[in-house]
Each structure stands twice: as C-alpha cells, then as structure tokens.
Amino acid sequence: MATIFSFRCLCFIIALLSAFSFVSFLFWFQCSSSYRYSNQMISQKENQPINLLSFPSAWNHLSFPSKLPSKYLKIALFVKKWPHRSLAGGLERHALTLHLALAKRGHELHIFTTSPSNSSFPRYPMSNLYFHLSKPTAAGYLDQAIVWKQFQTQNSTGKAFDIVHTESVGLLHTRSRNLTNLAVTWHGIAYETIHTDIIQELLRNPDEQQAYALTERITKVVEEVRFFPHYAHHVATSDHAGDILRRIYMIPEERVHVILNGVDEEIFKPDPSKGEAFKQKFGVAKSRSLVLGMAGRLVKDKGHPLMFEALKQMLVENGTFRENTIVLIAGDGPWGDRYRDLGTNTLVLGPLEQAQLASFYNAIDIFVNPTLRAQGLDHTLLEAMLSGKSVMSTRVASITGSVIVSTEIGYTFSPMVVSLKNALYRVWEDGRRVLEMKGQASRQRGLQLFTATKMAAAYERLFLCISNDNSKREDYCQYQSPFN
Ligand SMILES: *[C@@H]1O[C@H](CO)[C@@H](O)[C@H](O)[C@H]1NC(C)=O
Ligand SMILES: *[C@@H]1O[C@H](CO)[C@@H](O)[C@H](O)[C@H]1NC(C)=O
Ligand SMILES: *[C@@H]1O[C@H](CO)[C@@H](O)[C@H](O)[C@H]1NC(C)=O
Ligand SMILES: *[C@@H]1O[C@H](CO)[C@@H](O)[C@H](O)[C@H]1NC(C)=O
C-alpha cells in the first residue's frame, strides 16, 4: 500500500486541471477508485513525503494519526466573540469547536476575547483553557491595545506562545505583522463577497435602494490585498477561498493552507428513530412523503425571500406537491412569520438546541440551504451531510467546489426563483429512495472531510509545523501517508 497517496494526489491534480467540475468529478471518482489496483504496480520510490506547507488542496483529505501529539503547544487565540454554546454564527462556531478540541488534546489554550454584555460567561472543566476577557470597543471589536498587553503578559509568563491563531481580523494586521508563528483563518473575504453583491443586486426590488456595497466592494478587495500579507500564514475554509488567496491576493502558496470546516460527528450522525420521534412530536403526518428541512437565521441574506417565493408558487400550481410535502424550518428571524402564513405545508420550529437540531436533521429527507452568501462555508450543510442527508444549495463556489461537488450528493441551483423551483421539482420527482442513496454518499463525504476531529487534527498539524523547532530537527511539515 505504498503509493496510495501519491497516486490519489495525481488523480486529484489531473481532475483539477480538467476543465469543469462535473467532468473532473467523474474523472476523480473513477481514477481514485482504480488506485487500489494500480498502486501495487508503482514502485516504492514514488512514495516521497510531501511538504505540507505547499499542499495545494484541503488538508482534510490527509490522514493524521489520532494518538496524542508528542509535543504540547501554548496557543493564543484572538476572537471577537466567544459563543454561548450552539447558538452562534459560523466564525464563532468554528472558534468554539476547534479550540475546545485542541484543549481536549492537551494543548494550553489562551483565548483573548470580549466580555459578554450580560457578564455571564460559559465555564469549561479544563485546567489548560484560559480566557482573557476585555471590554469591546464601541464598534464591538477587540480593543487591540488591551488584548496586546494581555497577550504580552501571558507570553512572558512561563513559556512563550508557540503559536498565535486569529479568527479573521480578531488580531489586526497592525499587530500581527512581526509574528512569524501566526495563522489567520478567513471566514469570508471581500473578493468572494462580490458574488453575493451581484446576486443581491439582481434580486433587488426596483423600489429598494441599491446596496452601497456594490460600488465599494472592489476598493475593499484592494485594501485586503494590501494588508493580508501582514499575516504570516492563512487558512482558507474552502478550496475556492484558497485559490483566491493565492491567485488574486497573491500570497505565496506556502503561506496559504486549505482546511475545511468540521462539525461534531458525535452529535450529528444518522439515527432514524430520533427522526421518527421528532416527526411524531411535531405532528408530521405519514402522508408527507417528502420532508424538506432548513435551518439557521431566517433572513434575506440566507436566501429566504427566494425560497419563500418558490414554495409559494409551487404550492399554488401543483396539487400533489401541496398534499405530499412539508417544510420543517429550524430557526427564527423576519421570514419566520411569512413561512407560517404558507399554512400546513410549513412548520416553523424556532431556534433548536444542538441535540434537538440533530434529531431535526434525522427527520428530514433533504436539507435545503438557499443562502445568498458566497463567502465562508456554511456549517448547516456539513451537519446535514454527517447526519446522512442529501443536501441542496445555491451555486456559490465554496459550496460547489468543496461540499456539493456532484449530483451523487445533492442538488445545486442558481439564485433565481425559476432555478430553485426546478431543483425542488427534481427532488420531488427523484423521491425518497433516491434521496436516501444520495444521503449515504453525503455521509461518506462528510466522514471523510467534515468531522470536527479531522478539522482539529489538520489545525494541530499546521500549528506544529509552523512552530517547528529547527534546532531539534523537528519535521512536522513533512507528511508521509500512514498507509505504508
Ligand atoms: C447572556 O447572553 C447570552 C447570549 O447573548 C445568553 O445565551 C445567556 O443566557 C445570557 N445569560 C444570562 C445570565 O442572562
Ligand atoms: C514572546 O516571548 C518570546 C520569548 O521571550 C519572545 O522571543 C517573543 O518576541 C515574544 N513575542 C512577542 C510578540 O512579544
Ligand atoms: C514590527 O517591527 C518593526 C521593525 O522592527 C517595528 O518598527 C514595528 O514597531 C514592529 N511592529 C509591531 C506591531 O511590533
Ligand atoms: C406536479 O409536479 C410533478 C413533478 O414535477 C409532476 O409530475 C406533476 O405532474 C405535477 N402536477 C401538477 C398537477 O401540475
């Protein structure tokens, strides 16, 4: 089994080089399923270790050993806000999931964040996890002068920090510029947001004012291209963002690393009995042969005007669709009441705690994410996939490039009512059995790439690599496939 990795990698690179995603997916799929046979014939010497820092695709594809690290790191994290459990946006969810996992693995974590307005702060039973709170600025950001002082105090107490991690601009570039052992994780960069701006403008009612963003965005991109190099290492949360950072932002490739988001695989997993109980609890009739699910904030940004319009039209024009489908909606926001007005075909559940959310995913046949945001990588899709559900989402590059990479997993549509309706009708025609098969493919991809364990292992290795102690001849930046 010496050359699994190199051959697989070759497949992947050829697939990347070949024009468009579906064709390349087919190639990648066929090619990688044949590697098992071919690799026995390729000679041993091709199995060179690779330099992780210049690895072009997501580190989630690699396998890092799960045994505890041979070296424990002292890690500083800068994050604007530390979330109260599960009710949090993408960046905060990422901060929480990743750093709790790293603390569980024994690293010493110092988290520099703002104190919450109502003064209650979550407690964790871990003695290697420290919070350094400070009052936010008027605009709600970290007060850079204060956190820098707190950081330096900790840096000169006991051991110095091995690694500094900042979630987005938690630590500003004016402070980060001289730190070589630093990584920043971007959850949406201005260049990606241009796509969102275009979508919003196309969907804008003539009586609404044009968003200021449309004209200002390019200036924002140029600003980012200028200041991003002041961060030593960059983590992109999607393959697409990684490409932009290398190509448009011109950051040297050995400083750009792709690590896709992960979600807790212990919580989000298939459990049909939980799904049945959930449906019973909320009175979903057995006659509903298609249960669609949506979760998150019910706001314009997340595409709810689009979904609302598509559903409204379909419920009017197609009697069978009306009789047999139901949409379960977890979350709240301005569009909640409008969905309620659609009558018995929708069930607005309000925000759900994590355990309930896990049951919710089990209750549905397919998860629909009509988001208009092209930046970052939505966690809800990953949760649905780990729960073994087929997924459906807007065609934005982070999703089509890293998540719904083929029709084997689910459906994608353009952010227009007609395209969304077509996709929903296709789902309806395909029916439950096809959705179940796609759900299994979804789960396989989820397990391979989107578990919290995978994400934490990749970050741990990146942090070890960045803080390599050359005097001890450490080589955490070398990767050797474990299948030797
Ligand atoms: C403080 O606020 C958070 C969210 O902002 C909330 O979840 C938490 O329950 C609040 N705590 C108290 C004691 O009010
Ligand atoms: C942290 O401490 C180390 C060791 O004393 C020192 O070399 C480094 O410059 C300090 N970092 C900062 C940002 O002050
Ligand atoms: C970074 O280093 C430069 C040159 O040594 C120095 O002038 C500057 O003040 C440093 N910046 C920070 C934030 O430490
Ligand atoms: C409803 O949609 C389905 C799926 O596209 C189609 O097969 C069916 O004929 C439609 N029914 C009506 C009444 O339009």
Where exactly are the structural domains of the chain?
59-262+453-479, 272-450
Indicate which atom in ligand 3 lies nearest the CA of residue 176: 13
Residue nearest to atom 4 of ligand 3 (CA): 178
> pLDDT per position in the chain (484 positions), as tens?
333 444 444 444 444 444 444 444 444 444 443 333 333 333 334 578 899 999 999 999 999 988 888 899 999 999 999 987 656 678 999 999 999 999 999 999 999 999 987 767 888 999 999 999 999 999 989 999 999 999 999 999 999 999 999 999 999 999 999 999 999 999 999 999 999 999 999 999 889 888 777 789 999 999 999 999 999 999 999 999 999 999 999 999 999 999 999 999 999 999 999 999 999 999 999 999 999 999 999 999 999 999 999 999 999 999 999 999 999 999 999 999 999 999 999 999 999 999 999 999 999 999 999 999 999 999 999 999 999 999 999 999 999 999 999 999 999 999 999 999 999 999 999 999 999 999 999 999 999 999 999 999 999 999 999 998 777 777 899 998 776 5
Pocket-testing residue among 120, 121, 123, 133, ligand 1, by greatest number of atoms within 8 A of Cβ: 120
Q: What is the C-alpha to C-alpha distance for residues 444 and 29, in angstroms, rounded to an integer? A: 13
Work out which ligand 2 atom sits closest to the CA atom of 161. Answer: 1
pLDDT of residue 182: 97
Q: Report how far ligand 1's centroid is from the alpha carbon of 278 (Å).
A: 27
* Ligand minimally distant from the alpha carbon of residue 321: 4
Answer yes or no: is the C-beta of 149 below 6 A from any ligand 2 atom: no
Cα–Cα dist 220/227, whole Å? 11
Whole-number pLDDT of residue 470 = 74
CA of 120 from ligand 1 middle (Å) equals 6
Nearest CA to ligand 4 atom 7: 429
Q: Is 160 in the pocket of ligand 2 (CB under 6 A)?
A: yes
Instruction: Provide the pLDDT for residue 19.
Output: 45
Answer whether 289 contacts ligand 2 (Cβ < 6 A): no
Residue 157, judged by CB atoms within 10 A of its CB (0-12, 13-18, 19+), counts as exposed
Calculate the CA 188 to chain-centre distance: 11
pLDDT of residue 41: 36
Nearest CA to 137 among 80, 76, 78, 220?
A: 80
pLDDT given for residue 209 in this prediction: 84
4-to-31, 390, 433, 447, 461 alpha-carbon distances in Å: 12, 29, 33, 19, 21
- pLDDT for the residue 120: 79
Is 307 buried (19+), middle (13-18) or exposed (0-12) by CB count in 10 A?
buried
Alpha carbons 223 and 479: distance in angstroms, whole number: 35
Enter the CATH code of domain 59-262+453-479.
Answer: 3.40.50.2000
Cβ(126)–Cβ(105) below 8 Å: no
The three-state secondary structure class of 78 is strand
Q: Ligand 1 centre and the CA of 118: distance in Å?
A: 6
**Distance, CA 167 to ligand 1 centroid (Å)?**
22
The H or E element containing residue 412 is strand 410-413
Cα-to-centroid distance, 318 and ligand 4 (Å): 6
Which protein residue's CA is at the shortest distance from atom 1 of ligand 4? 318
Residue 155 CB less than 6 A away from ligand 2 = yes
pTM assigned to the model: 0.87
Highest CATH level, class, for 272-450: alpha beta
pLDDT of residue 213: 73
One fold for 59-262+453-479 and 272-450: yes
